[in-house]
Amino acid sequence: MKQRTISKSVEIVGVGLHKGVPVKMKLEPLDDDMGIIFYRSDEAVTIPLTPEYVIDTKMATVIGKDDVVVSTIEHLLSAIYAYGIDNLRISVDNDEVPILDGSSSGYCMLLEEVGIVEQSKSKRALLIKKEIEVKHEGKFVKVKPSNHIIYDFSINFEHPAIGEQEFRFDYSIPEYKENISRARTFGFLHEVQYLRSIGLAQGGSLENAIVLDDQKVLNPEGLRYDDEFVRHKILDAIGDMSLLGYTMVGEYSAHAGSHHLNHLLTKKVLESPENYEIVDLEEVQEKVEVFEKAYARA
């Protein structure tokens, strides 16, 4: 199995969630072993995609270097890693990635339209070797060894439209497209009002997020899935775990996880070589079979 990139460059323009300003984003193919990198074209600054460059995780995953940042990267990264892309440059001319409709489905369509190509060198993956957990006040995120790529998430909100939800996702591209990619980000009306008062969520609307008051969903079209909230948490987790630098082979599970806990988990995984192994998928046959299944019908 070979590394992947896109067939050619592609540009889109969208609105950033927090600043509410137009952002021009360009995706460009990169050669083998280049990885995923971000580039602020207006500042001429390249920001590597590693945990060391994560500077904020309160409302989104934000990376930065030399006082230049790129915010809300998790939805785009979720789609990129779901499609098995290894090498790509993401160029933006502002400090946010376009929010689109609040899910990653638009990015999935963009990647399919431009086309994905195999490269010359073999694909590598990060194999989890031992259970690693991060806990805080009853919340947790953890990974453990598995021959599959699994994301298992549960949430419990004291809200009539949410309540307790759990979803287990056994990874493949078709399953991601159907069951994860369309799940939108969500927020509560009182939070949106507060965020706007401090200059955030300026681009947020019912067109790009699920918004709830104290009792119900305010979006007139309703939900895309009954459990759309927990599915979006998985979408976010896939994007956040991409900071490991490779597609993870293992089982991720979480209860009430967050961008912050996911960031701490990636750091904890990478802090010791006892926790993981980088495997060449052309040398480890059983892992090749996992990925052949995962990328089937892509």
Which of these is catalytic: 75, 259, 260, 263?
259
Tell me, yes or no, if 259 is annotated catalytic: yes
Here the tokens at position 11 are 């540009």
30, 88 Cβ separation under 8 angstroms: yes
Is 73:64 a contact under the CB 8 Å cutoff? no
Distance CA 259, CA 271 (A): 18
| 9: Cβ contacts below 8 Å, ≥ 6 apart | 26, 27, 28, 29
Rg (C-alpha) for the chain, rounded Å, is 18
d(CA 191, CA 254) in angstroms, rounded, equals 23
Query: Residue 14 corresponds to which tokens in the numbers above?
Result: 């969208």
User: What DSSP string describes 112-168?
Assistant: HHH-EEEEEEEPEEEEE-S-EEEEETTEEEEEE--SSEEEEEEEEESSTTTEEEEEE
DSSP, collapsed to helix, strand or coil, labels residue 185 as coil
Q: Please give the Cα distance from 104 to 87 (Å, whole number).
A: 19
* Four-CA torsion 146, 150, 154, 160, nearest 10 degrees: -160
Cβ within 8 Å of residue 2, ≥6 positions away: 118, 119, 120, 121, 122, 123
Strand boundaries in 158-290, DSSP class E: 163-170, 186-188, 210-212, 247-255, 276-280
Question: Exposed, middle or buried by CB within 10 Å (0-12, 13-18, 19+), for 115?
Answer: exposed
Question: Could you list the active site residues?
Answer: 259
